[in-house]
Structure 1
């Protein structure tokens, strides 16, 4: 592979757009797909800085090149006076961290997302803090060329005990041409779970091998919201992972009982440990396939006052959306069938390819097929430390709907 130029922070090539393809980028959308590119003037290496122009030579934006991806250029500056240098990256990292501090999310006993990719003008970079440790995840080959500088800045700014790199999802890494493995970047690695506080609950988090970067930080506010509906209800929490929703409902929400289910024995092990850690004796944890468990509960005529669904990403692209919609419909239909009249459904989708409108249309189909009325009480998204750029609404991936089923 050609290595980035020594002067990669300065533009080394010009990416010329096809006619009538510039409007989104004048609107500050950060993704330039290969289908929008007319030609490339120059020979940029992956990770090099390039200028984006209209077909007649008008400057549009400045970004980083990646020949391995259909997302050819990620844009970071929209004026010709801004260089993509270490000072710019450091400034944006400091700005992102300062915003979390302003939200009161800088308590070292807790956990928070410090950098949320496009939402913080740092497309391809995700940074989470768990207590005294920092987890970094790269989803862009071009941005990964700046990994050492990013770690230096985080270390200087936050003085963590350690900084760990987590690799991107396998499918995404392949699409980007990324070859980053999990490893320690700075300091020391934790020797066991890290314990963090969330709304008065204590969770053990595995940041070296856990799902995502260790915990579903994006659901923080949604767990608290769901707990507000749980009092005196019998709750079923499907895809429970380490027990976030289950414990919020049991301990904070005052649920009568909670059955938490996940197909991963490692996840249910974490959930059991966290239930014990918080003295949540009303929580039972079971390892089982979600669809099989829901079918079995329905066959046994079980009924619940609240069902929570937080499945993995069913739709990884628009091409798989039809199959994903059927899967979402099936699992929500099963959940509705298990709810007593007036029961609460908390249903989630983390599939970015499925829009909020698509998700609500799916729920309308569930209402029709089940013959039940579904009253939407809250339509929520990710927690506030996961900002979304108004110019890149594709970053609004999480849908959390709280509904009453009559």
Structure 2
């Protein structure tokens, strides 16, 4: 097998912390001719075995490790066993009907995402090396689950960094890609083909339950609602009124359908508006709500733009706080993995200071446990979810 030999001085991230990414500038030489996507063995400068993974000379991340076991062969059985192990973990922690079955690096399958919606599966293969094993992954899914349908959502720009084209489509017999799922006793429409990411944000499913006590009898404002999951939970948990804002007319239309589906259309309504502008305008007008919920998109995917993201999160939370009645609550999230938890809390504190409001933490959580976190691997902990009381 072709060998990649690491430089003498490399990051502790690889050898000590066990992170699967090996950057091109950490490799001294590749012994042999490789085809992009080939499996290679990785060794330290003094010939100690590190692991096996797939290589792509066109990528800044030259090798992504799949195993640290020298005796483990990367073949169809390998992927079947990894998927089965991941499924057993979800079953053990109670995520069965809808869950992230494979969360990339955290499930030791770098750049592979698989979401399970009832009996339907959505796959993303975000690197060349894992994309080559897509047939084996589909075969394993069929063997373990006998699914009603499998769909790929590889219409993401990150694939182009790996020399892959963006694409989406059926990996099984065609099926109706608009399905309905149950979450926390509520029904939600999922558009597998055209929805954001894989069609639905499963990572907030536990956090949506966390609002149940603070929204009872409350007037609630939700911004960046997407298809209205937080807002519909609020209505179902006893809110007096709920208004949700999202810039996407398609998302708002689906949110309104979700409201009807759950019989809360008289309590909650959704409007297609630019949330940034509306929050600023309404704060100036002196509008106030018992609960304000913010779930903005990621403000950056690169380290170069971290300062821009910090400014964006501070500004949006400052505007949100100004709209909260004294004694009310702000519910806020960040899905930018480059903004680590301590920094996020610091940003909220800065926003409170500028808004001249006192805050008290109610709860601070991360993504649901079907998106496991590996300590020391920053990219596996990306979601921050915070509820604060605002005085």
TM-score by length of 2: 0.96
Answer whether contact 2:337 2:378 (CA < 8 A) is retained: no
Change (3 A) 1:34 1:93: same
Residue 19 of structure 1: which of 1, 5, 8 is its match? 8
* Structure 1 residue 19: Cα displacement: 1.2
* Structure 1 residue 116: Cα displacement: 0.8
Residue 186 of structure 1: which of 165, 172, 175 is its match? 172
Answer whether contact 1:125 1:138 (CA < 8 A) is retained: yes
* Structure 1 residue 285: Cα displacement: 0.6
- What is the aligned partner in structure 1 of residue 389 from structure 2? 404
Q: Could you list the runs of 5+ residues in structure 2 that have no partner in the other structure? A: none
1:156-235 paired onto structure 2 within 5 Å? 156-170=143-157, 172-190=158-176, 193-235=178-220
Residue 292 of structure 1: which of 251, 259, 277 is its match? 277
- Secondary structure at the counterpart of residue 186 of structure 1: coil
Question: Which stretches of structure 1, 4 residues or longer, exceed 3 Å deviation after superposition?
Answer: none
Distance in 2, Cα, partners of 1:209 & 1:37: 40
- Secondary structure at the counterpart of residue 261 of structure 1: strand
1:54 aligns with 2:44: yes
Distance in 2, Cα, partners of 1:58 & 1:222: 43
- Secondary structure at the counterpart of residue 397 of structure 1: coil
Answer whether contact 2:154 2:167 (CA < 8 A) is retained: yes
Residue 245 of structure 2: which of 254, 258, 261 is its match? 261
* Structure 1 residue 22: Cα displacement: 5.9
Residue 240 of structure 1: which of 208, 225, 228 is its match? 225
Change (3 A) 1:380 1:21: same
Answer whether contact 2:155 2:168 (CA < 8 A) is retained: no
Higher mean alpha-carbon deviation, 79-88 vs 212-221, is at: 79-88
- What is the aligned partner in structure 1 of residue 93 from structure 2? 103
- What is the aligned partner in structure 2 of residue 272 from structure 1? 256
- What is the aligned partner in structure 2 of residue 137 from structure 1? 124
1:75 aligns with 2:62: no
- What is the aligned partner in structure 2 of residue 283 from structure 1? 268
* Structure 1 residue 91: Cα displacement: 0.4
Change (3 A) 1:220 1:77: same
Residue 332 of structure 2: which of 338, 342, 347 is its match? 347
* Structure 1 residue 34: Cα displacement: 1.6
- Secondary structure at the counterpart of residue 182 of structure 1: strand
Q: Could you list the runs of 5+ residues in structure 1 that have no partner in the other structure? A: 1-10
* Structure 1 residue 393: Cα displacement: 3.0
Answer whether contact 2:364 2:386 (CA < 8 A) is retained: yes
* Structure 1 residue 297: Cα displacement: 1.4
Distance in 2, Cα, partners of 1:393 & 1:168: 25
Distance in 2, Cα, partners of 1:104 & 1:125: 22
- Secondary structure at the counterpart of residue 249 of structure 1: helix
- What is the aligned partner in structure 2 of residue 93 from structure 1? 83
Residue 325 of structure 1: which of 310, 314, 321 is its match? 310
Higher mean alpha-carbon deviation, 22-31 vs 69-78, is at: 22-31
Answer whether contact 1:22 1:60 (CA < 8 A) is retained: no
* Structure 1 residue 313: Cα displacement: 0.8
Number of positions where the alignment pairs a residue of Structure 1 with one of Structure 2: 389
Change (3 A) 1:54 1:168: farther
* Structure 1 residue 215: Cα displacement: 0.6
Distance in 2, Cα, partners of 1:302 & 1:29: 48
Answer whether contact 1:47 1:66 (CA < 8 A) is retained: yes
- Secondary structure at the counterpart of residue 161 of structure 2: helix
Distance in 2, Cα, partners of 1:178 & 1:404: 46
* Structure 1 residue 158: Cα displacement: 0.6
Distance in 1, Cα, partners of 2:50 & 2:125: 26
Change (3 A) 1:98 1:187: farther
Answer whether contact 2:232 2:268 (CA < 8 A) is retained: yes
